């Protein structure tokens, strides 16, 4: 319920006050980084949370004005917004041979939850309108997609072009409009606009788009290998590291990096040979069709991120995911021209966001009030006994609690992992005590507890809807006060106000600490951060008190505690993503990425030049930057031995990269969250050569970039562009890819078709970022089910063919396979039926293919974190697509700051 996020400030001129133009025209200032800088300078004063110190520091807290009472507004508060919600479902014909379906993202429900939030009771579940848009072709497996063009895919039997078959339900309109309006009107506080750069930057970016456009030129075809069948599989828990990542962390040489300097803002680079085509400053955009000869051009391609290149491949070769001919059910023939105005005025989702307080870039707030955190209920003993060597054992509540944590994990992969069991046993043994009858874990039988747990689950499941509702309401009533904070007078949602309950640590991949006991967090573990003038939250557990109360307005956290698994680390309580504070930060992130877009030509020219630099460090920096740019790799910080052995660019091991002559590199490593990255790409010959040099004389477990670490790399990047760091390339690549694909692939058509285009672009980005998900348990069964149905339909067609034959001869149909008599149909009717059944089969085959292809791709992560929402919003405005078709309720709240973007905005 982030409804408050939708609040749109009332501004005299009728706009949100979120007008961006000015900002855009001004030199970009990276507030965040400057904040940091400033902060750093003052940070010596800043009390840091630390386990022993009870520094009380009050920084800059000022008097709090009375909190403006819940500035809540529903996203859909305006009736006018209903228009977009009332999309007519359109059903594109399912004619195309190669189609696959992709579900359109659920439409955000626009109903106001205000009342609910106000009284703490969630009585009205929001109606959700859903649309199943079948999607188009994106459905190739990650690997296949990476491999390149659609043709390949289709030739290999995969559906290549798909037509959407969509279903969308009409969303109830006008519900709660009154309350929305009311809330809106009641809103006291107007947040100032965060941002606004959008409109003025409506530029033709083609020129600035590096990647995408060049894709085909060099024939660089990155592919992620593996796919549905061979897709980059997540590392199974059981499996050891398949790649050559070494767990041995070896110290790197610390030769000072000598970064190549590039004049910032210099436009000369445009003339650099290397930068051709990619030089963004030059007003000659590198477009796909402009494609210069890539092959011989040592740097020409370089400027094109591999990912985009491959993307381009596919986009060039496939006409469009949406077939122009596809049935356009006359729904959307509105002129685009009209839209913008309406959007701008109506943008019901926009809320103005605050600027940084006092603009000093340091203080994050002036006043802050909240109610602290809520703790999980104390452990409730169940009394079920485990068996040790077949005999029931008495356990104390504390022992039983931990035993239960273990017992309920029986069906997880962790349960049988040695590391997990060993760590668990170590911690549990301490609780059991030295002389306990239980001497080892393997002789313990936790089945009784597991069965009890399953029973409880079943009981819960069997509760009546009414009982469930009451429970839910009770919970809400209990939590309501913790859900909100008031920051500078504005009521904002708190992100994670619930303290993590005790449990067993579930690290990802081969985490050395998996199975360890995460102890219960108590008030005395928690440090509260709150405005100086605000009342200190009452400790919810009688007789206990907070560890410390601070008043530090240079940070955004409301509370933190030390992570019980890794006491050096902290768990923070922050505001929710829908808050203005987070929105501002988000916007700055994208603005930085846009700035990179302007500089990318220079940067590429610079690193290209250094591919063969005699200085090894420079060469490594150049190659690493290239990889980060082209493959959207993460920076790759050093990790401790007590963490899973994963890598990023700077920590790649020699064994993670195979050189395949003449100039291909095969990457195979475990990245963040132990997600496998497998990708074979063609690279510039100098890069290929350099990688070979970096590998020479090393073992597979040695660092590939032994002269490099993230701080050196980032220090170098900062010389190329202020505040530039490795991660900005990921944001940049994701956003530029989305922008480019949307602009290239969108055709006239109905909304569902356009949504499919969006899904495809989203998918491309997800592939570039290697965002994966595990295949659902029921996937196999679902596919089988579909296959079975297809088979049945084929049988039906056979029967229909026979009937048709007989009907033409004036005979009655044979008895059906089910033994029943069939109706006597005319040949025409039978032909029609056959056609319909065939269409049904085609659709199901596409569905199956899509399901298979998408089974490992996670679209959400890029949408939430990498793709500038203004691209999406502007595209929706230009193409008359209701934003709710793309962003769900949460995203609408999170991206409220982007809603007023100019329709012509380009990344």
| Distance of closest approach, residue 890 Cβ to DNA, in angstroms | 3
DSSP string, 802-814: HHHHHHHTTPPPP
In the DSSP assignment, the letter for residue 675 is B
Q: Which of 590, 626, 688, 866 is catalytic?
A: 866
| Closer residue to DNA (CB): 90 or 279 | 90
Q: CA-to-CA distance for 659 and 688, rounded, in angstroms? A: 7
Q: Is 294 exposed, middle or buried (0-12, 13-18, 19+ CB in 10 A)?
A: buried
Sorted by sequence, the CB contacts under 8 Å of residue 825 that are 6+ apart come out as: 803, 807, 813, 833
- Cα distance between residue 505 and residue 642, in whole Å: 13
Burial 471-503 (b: 16+ CB within 10 A, else e): eebeebeeebebbbbbbbbbbbbbbebebbebb
Cα angle value 895/211/773 (rounded, 5°): 55
Long-range contacts of 155-161 (CB under 8 A, 24+ apart): 158/98, 158/849, 158/853, 159/98, 159/99, 159/100, 159/845, 159/846, 159/849, 159/850, 160/98, 160/318, 161/96, 161/98, 161/99, 161/136, 161/137, 161/318, 161/319, 161/320, 161/321, 161/323
Nearer to DNA, 438 or 499 (CB): 499
Would you say 336 and 877 are in contact if contact means Cβ atoms under 8 Å apart?
no
Task: Give yes or no for a contact between 134 and 24, defined as CB atoms under 8 angstroms apart.
Answer: no
Residue 840 CB, shortest distance to DNA, in Å, is: 10
- 453 among known catalytic residues: no
Q: 439 or 457: whose CB is closer to DNA?
A: 457
**Rounded Cα distance, 505 and 513, in Å:** 7
Pairing of strands 548-552, 526-529: parallel
Say whether the peptide bond before residue 662 is cis (omega within 30 degrees of 0): yes
Structure tokens that stand for 484 in this block: 């909100």
Residue with tokens 């479902």: 89
Identify which of residues 93 and 496 has a Cβ nearer to DNA in the complex: 496
User: Beta 548-552 vs 58-59: how paired, if at all?
Assistant: parallel
Task: Give, as one character, the DSSP assignment of residue 725.
Answer: -
Q: Are 328 and 749 in contact (CB under 8 A)?
A: yes
Q: What are phi and psi of 550, to 5 degrees?
A: -120, 170
- Number of H helices and E strands in the chain, helices first, is 25, 19
Comparison of 371 and 888: residue with beta carbon closer to DNA: 888
Q: Which of 529, 515, 306, 321 is closest to 413 using CA atoms?
A: 515
Instruction: Considering the complex, state which of residue 825 and residue 864 has its C-beta at the smaller distance from DNA.
Output: 864
- Nearest residue (CB) to DNA, 202 versus 858: 858
Residue 82: CB minimum distance to DNA, A: 16
Distance CA 353, CA 896 (A): 8
* Contact (Cβ atoms closer than 8 angstroms) between residue 773 and residue 858: yes
CA distance between the termini of the chain = 29
Give burial (CB, 10 Å; 0-12/13-18/19+) of 251: exposed
Q: Alpha-carbon distance 512 to 423, whole Å? A: 9
From CA 170, how far away is CA 441, in angstroms rounded?
Answer: 56
At residue 233, the 3 state secondary structure works out as coil
Cα(494)–Cα(502) distance, integer angstroms = 21
CB 713 within 8 A of CB 847: no
Report phi then psi at 873, rounded to 5: -65, -45
Q: Look at the block and give the residue holding tokens 């081969």.
A: 510
Which residues are catalytically annotated?
866
């Amino acid at each position: 319920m982030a409804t408050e996020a939708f609040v749109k400030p009332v501004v005299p001129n009728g706009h949100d006050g979120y007008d961006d133009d000015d900002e855009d025209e001004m030199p970009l200032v990276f507030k965040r980084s400057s904040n940091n800088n400033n902060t750093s300078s003052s940070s010596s004063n800043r009390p840091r949370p630390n386990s022993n110190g009870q520094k009380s520091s009050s920084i800059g807290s000022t008097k709090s004005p009375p909190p403006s009472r819940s500035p809540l507004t529903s996203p859909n508060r305006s009736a006018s917004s209903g228009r977009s919600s009332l999309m007519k479902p359109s059903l594109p014909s399912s004619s195309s041979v190669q189609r696959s379906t992709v579900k359109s993202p659920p439409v955000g429900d626009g109903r106001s939850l205000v009342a609910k939030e106000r009284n703490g009771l969630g009585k009205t579940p929001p109606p959700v309108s859903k649309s199943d848009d079948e999607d188009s072709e994106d459905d190739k497996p990650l690997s296949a997609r990476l491999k390149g063009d659609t043709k390949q895919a289709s030739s290999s039997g995969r559906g290549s072009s798909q037509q959407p078959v969509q279903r969308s339900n009409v969303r109830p309109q006008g519900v709660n409009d009154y309350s929305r309006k009311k809330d809106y009107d009641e809103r006291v506080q107007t947040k100032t606009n965060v941002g606004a750069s959008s409109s003025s930057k409506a530029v033709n970016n083609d020129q600035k788009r590096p990647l995408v456009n060049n894709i085909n030129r060099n024939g660089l075809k990155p592919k992620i290998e593996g796919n549905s069948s061979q897709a980059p599989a997540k590392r199974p828990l059981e499996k050891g590291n398949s790649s050559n990542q070494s767990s041995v962390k070896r110290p790197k040489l610390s030769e000072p990096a000598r970064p190549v300097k590039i004049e910032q803002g210099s436009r000369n680079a445009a003339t650099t040979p290397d930068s051709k085509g990619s030089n963004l400053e030059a007003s000659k955009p590198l477009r796909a069709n402009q494609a210069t000869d890539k092959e011989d051009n040592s740097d020409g391609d370089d400027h094109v991120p591999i990912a985009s290149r491959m993307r381009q491949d596919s986009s060039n070769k496939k006409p469009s995911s949406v077939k122009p001919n596809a049935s356009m059910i006359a729904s959307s023939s509105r002129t685009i021209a009209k839209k913008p105005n309406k959007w701008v005025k109506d943008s019901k989702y926009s809320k103005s966001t605050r600027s940084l307080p006092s603009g000093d870039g340091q203080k994050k707030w002036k006043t802050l009030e909240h109610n602290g955190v809520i703790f999980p209920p104390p452990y409730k003993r169940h009394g079920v006994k485990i068996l040790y060597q077949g005999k029931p054992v008495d356990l104390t509540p504390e022992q039983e609690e931990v035993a239960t944590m273990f017992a309920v994990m029986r069906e997880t992969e962790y349960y049988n992992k040695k590391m997990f069991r060993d760590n668990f046993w170590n911690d549990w043994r301490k609780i059991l005590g030295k002389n306990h009858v239980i001497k080892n874990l393997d002789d313990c039988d936790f089945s009784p507890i597991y069965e009890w747990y399953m029973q409880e689950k079943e009981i819960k499941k069997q509760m009546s809807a009414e009982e469930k509702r009451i429970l839910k309401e009770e919970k809400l009533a209990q939590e309501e006060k913790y859900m909100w904070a008031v920051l500078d007078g504005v009521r904002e949602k708190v992100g994670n106000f619930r303290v993590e309950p005790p449990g067993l640590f579930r690290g990802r991949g081969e985490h050395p600490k998996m199975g360890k006991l995460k102890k219960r967090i108590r008030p005395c573990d928690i440090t509260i951060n709150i405005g100086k003038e605000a009342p200190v939250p009452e400790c919810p557990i009688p007789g206990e008190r907070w560890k410390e109360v601070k008043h530090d307005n240079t940070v955004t956290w409301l509370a933190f505690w030390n992570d019980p698994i890794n006491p050096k680390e902290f768990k923070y309580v922050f505001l929710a993503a829908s808050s203005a504070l987070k929105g501002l930060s988000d916007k700055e992130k994208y603005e930085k990425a846009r700035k990179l877009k302007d500089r990318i030509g220079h940067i590429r020219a610079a690193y290209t030049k250094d591919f063969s630099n005699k200085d090894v460090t420079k060469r490594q920096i150049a190659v690493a930057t290239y990889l980060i740019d082209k493959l959207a790799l993460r920076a790759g910080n050093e990790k401790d031995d007590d963490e899973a052995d994963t890598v990023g660019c700077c920590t790649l091991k020699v064994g993670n990269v195979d050189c395949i002559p003449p100039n291909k590199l095969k990457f195979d490593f475990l990245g963040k969250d132990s997600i496998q990255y497998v990708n074979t790409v063609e690279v510039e010959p100098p890069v290929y050569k350099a990688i070979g040099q970096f590998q020479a004389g090393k073992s597979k477990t040695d660092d590939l970039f032994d002269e490099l670490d993230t701080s050196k790399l980032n220090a170098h990047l900062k010389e190329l562009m202020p505040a530039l760091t490795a991660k900005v390339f990921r944001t940049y690549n994701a956003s530029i890819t989305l922008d480019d694909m949307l602009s290239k692939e969108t055709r006239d058509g109905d909304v569902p078709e356009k949504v499919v285009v969006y899904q495809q672009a989203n998918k491309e980005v997800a592939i570039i970022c290697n965002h994966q998900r595990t295949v659902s348990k029921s996937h196999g069964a679902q596919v089988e089910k579909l296959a079975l149905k297809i088979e049945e339909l084929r049988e039906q067609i056979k029967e229909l063919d026979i009937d048709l034959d007989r009907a033409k001869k004036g005979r009655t149909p044979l008895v059906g396979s089910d033994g029943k008599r069939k109706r006597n149909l005319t040949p025409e009717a039978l032909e029609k039926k056959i056609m319909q059944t065939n269409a049904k089969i085609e659709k199901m085959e596409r569905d199956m293919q899509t399901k298979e292809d998408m089974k490992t791709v996670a679209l959400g992560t890029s949408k939430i974190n990498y793709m500038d929402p203004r691209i999406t919003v502007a595209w929706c405005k230009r193409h008359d697509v209701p934003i709710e078709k793309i962003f769900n309720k949460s995203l609408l709240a999170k991206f409220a700051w982007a809603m007023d973007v100019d329709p012509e905005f380009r990344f």
